[in-house]
Amino acid sequence: MGARRSLRKSLLISLAATLLLLGGCTKDKALALKAAAETFRDRSVSAIDNYQNLMVTGALGEAQPEAQQFQEVLAQLRAKGAQGRLTSADALAALGSIDARERQLDFVRGKLSELRTAYVAFAASLARLPEGSFLAGDAVACAAGLGVRLTRRMMDFAQASQDKPVRYQQRLSRAVGDLNRAIAAKNESDIQRAVGELIETRKAERSDNAAATAMFVGAIDAGMRTVTLAQSYGQLSVEDLLSGLNQILEIRTATLGMDSSKAMERLATFRTKLEQDPALKPILAIPLNEPIPACKGQ
Amino acid sequence: MPPPKARRSDTDKALIEAAEAALDLLYDQYFASTALDQLLLKPQIEQAAHGVLKARLLLLAPGTIAVAADLKEANRIKDAIGQAATAQDTVIAAARLITLLARFA
């Protein structure tokens, strides 16, 4: 009797261990996929935030130091005031440049907020995966469908940033204005300073555009790998998923500092891979705000 | 089902380039102007920069922004800004640029 009880006990322990092990595996897999999705979200949102700053800096320049703002407003209002009584409209025109950059940044941020939210929603759709659910498999399939399209949007951004790099227009014109005044005044040190600023402007433009493209490519890389993990989630082992996650986490090191031609080579490879995948190609045509047919009602 | 276009049309890129070149000229004139003229140009320049930003945002999404006639108009406006003899002429030409770019909302 004692031996039978002992056998039964050891069988139960073994079954529980197996179940725990299986449960643990599923949870580890879910955690790995969740972490991959969150990394994709973070890379994408950072790349978008960085690019919106770059675009606004290109069109409106860097934020001016307060002393410089004050001098500019002072000179303009003094000149206008010398012509007659100042009006509120004069003051508003003079003050406009103080927060122009912030206003335009808010505008661009607003325009891109829906897209940013889509990346957050993508990661959120997998947030409860490790808790386990009968619908987990569906959630992963649906997330893969959204992930493909979000990756594709990063490709659009990367392509646009490469096709039409942002130019530091305001900064360049300011330096040209300084140079013209220095030449007219025959002030050699100011001439040299202004030419130095022109060269710095061009260098900053190139490096900031290259960094923006590299950030997009890093996000695309994370997106492609996350989608691949989600697509084969059922068949992958915990080790496969952890290795996939590890690759995603190593992307940052690989993409930062990457030169533009290398970044574009990677972009072309990713684009071909995405657009030639028979399972993914039809999904690309579905708008971001619509679920893929299999996920309607999710 | 055709995949989305991989590359943006040349007209779209050329439109952004023409609009940016027009904005360059506006800034050049601003930084070469007296404080009084700067006050006149300031609001127009911010609106023109806003238009350029809006057009740039459209470059980030699939689709087409401009047709050949838009590009022609953008180049005409750029020339008008370049040839403006007074700050008032510049303000009028800048208003045309702002109106053109407002179409691409």
Q: What is the pTM of this model?
A: 0.82
Q: Does the residue B2 lie in any domain?
A: no
Nearest CA in chain A to B49: A59
Q: Give yes or no for residue A7 having a pLDDT over 70.
A: no
Q: What is the dihedral of CA A199, A201, A202, A206, to 10 degrees?
A: 140
Instruction: Label residue A238 by pLDDT band (50, 70, 90).
Output: low
Q: Does the residue B44 lie in any domain?
A: yes
For residue A241, count other CB atoms closer than 10 A to its CB: 22
Chain centre to alpha carbon of residue A134: 32
Read off the amino acid at residue A58: G
Helix (H) or strand (E) holding A29: helix A2-60
Q: Can you tell me the mean pLDDT for A228-254?
A: 71
**Assembly ipTM:** 0.89
Whether B19 and chain A come into contact, CB under 8 Å, resolves to: no
Q: What is the mean pLDDT of chain A?
A: 83
Looking at chain B from residue 61 to 100, which residues have their Cβ under 8 Å from any Cβ of chain A?
61-62
The pLDDT, as a whole number, for residue A12 is: 37
The pLDDT, as a whole number, for residue B2 is: 41
The pLDDT, as a whole number, for residue B54 is: 93
- A52-61, A135-144, A248-257, B22-31 — which is least confidently predicted? A248-257
Q: Can you tell me the mean pLDDT for B67-77?
A: 94
The pLDDT, as a whole number, for residue A138 is: 73
Task: Kindly determine whether residue B31 and residue A177, on different chains, have CB atoms separated by under 8 Å.
Answer: yes
Q: Quote the minimal CA–CA distance from A207 to chain B in Å.
A: 19
For residue A58, count other CB atoms closer than 10 A to its CB: 25
Q: Give yes or no for residue A262 having a pLDDT over 70.
A: yes
Q: Does the residue B14 lie in any domain?
A: yes
The pLDDT, as a whole number, for residue A133 is: 60
Of B52, B73, B42, whose CA–CA distance to A169 is shortest? B52
Q: Give yes or no for residue A21 having a pLDDT over 80.
A: no
* 3-state class (DSSP) for residue A85: coil
Instruction: Label residue A263 by pLDDT band (50, 70, 90).
Output: confident
Count of domains observed in chain B = 1
Helical pair A188-231 and A169-184, crossing angle rounded to 10 deg: 170
- A244-248, B18-22, B69-73 — which is least confidently predicted? A244-248
The residues, any chain, with a CB within 8 Å of residue B26's CB and separated by 6 or more, are B41, B44, B45, B48, B81, B90, B94, B97
Give the residue numbers spanning the domain of B22.
10-102
The pLDDT, as a whole number, for residue A152 is: 92
Helical pair A2-60 and A100-124, crossing angle rounded to 10 deg: 160
Q: Does the residue B5 lie in any domain?
A: no
Q: Can you tell me the mean pLDDT for A258-287?
A: 76
Q: What is the dihedral of CA A265, A270, A271, A272, to 10 degrees?
A: 90
Whether A152 and chain B come into contact, CB under 8 Å, resolves to: yes
% of chain A beyond a pLDDT of 70: 81
Of B98, B103, B99, whose CA–CA distance to B41 is shortest? B98
Read off the amino acid at residue B10: D
The pLDDT, as a whole number, for residue B6 is: 44
Instruction: Label residue A252 by pLDDT band (50, 70, 90).
Output: low
Tokens 């084969």 belong to which residue? A232
Q: Is the dihedral of CA A259, A261, B55, B3 positive or negative?
A: negative
The pLDDT, as a whole number, for residue A249 is: 65
The pLDDT, as a whole number, for residue A255 is: 58
Spatial separation of the C-alpha atoms in residues B65 and B48, rounded to whole Å: 17
For residue A71, count other CB atoms closer than 10 A to its CB: 13
Q: Give yes or no for residue B43 having a pLDDT over 90.
A: yes
| In chain A, domain spans | 32-61+110-166+197-295
Task: Kindly determine whether residue A75 and residue B35, on different chains, have CB atoms separated by under 8 Å.
Answer: yes
% of chain B beyond a pLDDT of 70: 91
Q: Does the residue B18 lie in any domain?
A: yes
Spatial separation of the C-alpha atoms in residues A57 and A94, rounded to whole Å: 20
Tokens representing residue A140 in the block: 């992963």
The pLDDT, as a whole number, for residue A259 is: 67
* Residue of A189 and A238 predicted with greater confidence: A189
Q: Can you tell me the mean pLDDT for A190-203?
A: 97
Spatial separation of the C-alpha atoms in residues A183 and A145, rounded to whole Å: 60
The pLDDT, as a whole number, for residue A136 is: 64
3-state secondary structure labels for all residues of A252-289: HHHHCCCCHHHHHHHHHHHHHHHHHCCCCHHHHCCCCC
Q: Which of A60, A79, A180 sits opposite B36 (nearest CB)?
A: A79
The pLDDT, as a whole number, for residue A97 is: 85
Angle at A86 between CA B40 and CA A75, to 5 degrees: 60
